Chains A and B, each alone.
Chain A
Amino acid sequence: MFDYEACLRACARGDQQALRHLYEQESSRLLGVALRIVRDKALAEDTVHDAFIRIWRGAAGFDPGRGSARGWVYSVTRHQALNAVRRTARDVPLSEAHEPLAEPDDTFEFPARSGQIHTCLERLDPARRRCILHAYVDGYSHSEIAQVLGTPLGTVKAWIKRSLAALRECMT
C-alpha cells in the first residue's frame, strides 16, 4: 500500500524521491482525470505538471485533518484542470470533440462500480445522474451539459442543484 501521507510529509521535507514515487504511483491516473476534463493531451500534461509543482510546494501545508492525502492530490489536479479549461474556453464544439457523449447513459459503466457514491447516484434519475457525471468527470459547464443532453439550461442547473442536495442527503 502506498502511504500518501508519508509521501507528502517527505515532500514537505524536500525529498524529491518521494514526489517521484507519487508520480510513478498516480501520474497515469491523474493524467486520465485531467485529460477527460481538458481534452487535449498537451494541455492535460501541462495540468499534471502544474499539479505536481503545486503538490510539491503545498505538501507542507497539507492538513490530514481535512481529508485523505490521496484525495488532496486528486483535488489539486482536478481543480487545476477545471481552471485551465474554464480559462481557455473550449473552442472545439463538443459534438465533434466527444462523439460518444451523444449516446445514452451507458457511457459511464455504471453497475460495475460499488461504493456509497455509486449507490446514491443510482437512485437519481438517469438524466440527472449524467449531469453530475458530465460535470465531475468531463468538467462540462452547465451550458455544455445542456447542449449534450439537449435539455434547457435552466432545467440542467436545477437538476444539478437538486441532485447534489439529494446526494448529500443520501451519503450522510
Chain B
Amino acid sequence: MNIEELASEYVVGTLPLEQRAEVEQRLKHDADLRAAVDAWEQRLLPLTALAEPVTPSQHLWRRIQHTLAEPATRVPWWNLLAVWRGLAAAGLAASVVLATLLLIRPPLAEPSFVVVLVAPQSQAPGWVIQASNNQQIQLIPLGVMQVPADKALQFWTKGDGWQGPVSLGLVKPGQTLSVPLDQLPPLTQNQLFELTLEDSRGSPTGKPTGPIQAIGRAVKVL
C-alpha cells in the first residue's frame, strides 16, 4: 500500500487496529504520511455533518473536569505495549511453573483455568491462580513478596472487551486468597489478571494506579 492509499484508508476508517496503530506511530516522524493524512482529514471532514448531534448526559463535562484535575496520569498499564510483550514471555514461565506444579503436587480438583502471574520486568513467577470452576478462584503465592508498610497489593482482572480492569480486592503477601467471581462474567481464556501496588486501602480511583507487581493471562487446562 503506498502512502496515499494508507493515508486514505486510515482516515476513512477501514484499516484494522494493528495497521491503525502502525500509522499512528509513523505519523510521529513521517512527514509525507502526515501531509497525506492531513489532506484526507480535510477532504472528508464535511461528512462528519451526516451524523445527527446527540446531547451528552449532564455529568459528561464534570467527568472531563474531574480527569483534568487529576495529576497528569501515566498511560494505563493495559495500553502499554511492553506489558503485552512481557505477557508473551510469561507464557514460557507459565509452562515451566505448571510442569513443576504437576510434578510436585497430587492431582488437584481439575482446575479449568490456570494463570501464572509474573513480574513484568524479570518475568519471575510470583503467584499462581487456579479456578476449579468459573465462579471462584484461588490466588496462591509462590513466595513472599515485600510490600512497603503504607502500601497494599490490589488484585485486578480484565476480560477481552471489558472497558477496564475490575478490582478483586486487596491481597496479603504470602497468603492464599479465595475470591468469588459471582459479580463478574464467567472466566474466559486469555482473561487478564494482575497485582498492583496501591495505597493501603486500595486504589483511590477504582482503577489500577500503581506499578504492576505481577501479571498474567488465564490459560484453559484441558
**Which A residues are within 8 Å of any B CB, using their own CB?**
16, 19-20, 23, 27-29, 31-33, 35-37, 41, 43-46, 48-49, 52-53, 56, 66-68, 71-72, 74-75, 78-79, 82-83, 86-89, 91, 108-109, 113, 115, 117-118, 132-133, 135-137, 139-142, 145, 160-161, 164-165, 167-168, 171
Contacts and interface: CB of A to CB of B under 8 A. Distances in A.
B8 interface: yes
A170 to B, nearest CB: 10
Contact of B48 (A29, A46, A164): A29
6 contacts: A23-B64, A45-B63, A78-B48, A79-B20, A161-B5, A164-B8
Given A82-B13, A164-B5, A66 B45 contact: no
A108 B11 CA distance: 19
B12 A27 contact: no
B54 interface: yes
The prevalent SS among residues of B at the interface is: helix
Contacts of B63: 45, 49
User: Which 5 pairs show the lowest CB-CB distances between chains A and B?
Assistant: A86-B17, A28-B53, A164-B8, A32-B51, A36-B51
A53 B67 contact: yes
A157 B44 CA distance: 18
Contacts of A165: 4-5, 8
Interface of B: 4-5, 8-9, 11-14, 16-17, 20, 24, 34, 38, 41-57, 60-61, 63-65, 67-68, 161, 163
A142 B53 contact: no
A74 B48 contact: yes
Contacts of B60: 27, 31, 45, 48-49
Contacts of A171: 43
Given A19-B64, A87-B17, A91-B161, 16 more contacts: A32-B54, A36-B51, A48-B56, A48-B60, A66-B34, A67-B42, A68-B42, A82-B20, A86-B17, A117-B47, A135-B13, A136-B13, A160-B14, A161-B9, A165-B5, A168-B8
A135 B20 CA distance: 14
Contacts of B5: 161, 164-165
B51 A137 contact: yes
B162 to A, nearest CB: 9
Contacts of B4: 165, 168
Contacts of B52: 32, 36
The prevalent SS among residues of A at the interface is: helix
B19 to A, nearest CB: 10
B114 to A, nearest CB: 26
A38 to B, nearest CB: 12
A109 B52 CA distance: 12
Contacts of A83: 17, 20
Contact of A31 (B17, B43, B54): B54
A46 B34 contact: no
A28 B43 contact: no
A95 B146 CA distance: 53
A46 B161 CA distance: 14
B43 A45 contact: no
B51 A35 contact: yes
Contact of A168 (B13, B43, B46): B43
Contacts of B53: 28-29, 31-32
A141 B47 CA distance: 17
A82 B23 CA distance: 13
B161 A135 contact: no
A16 B44 contact: no
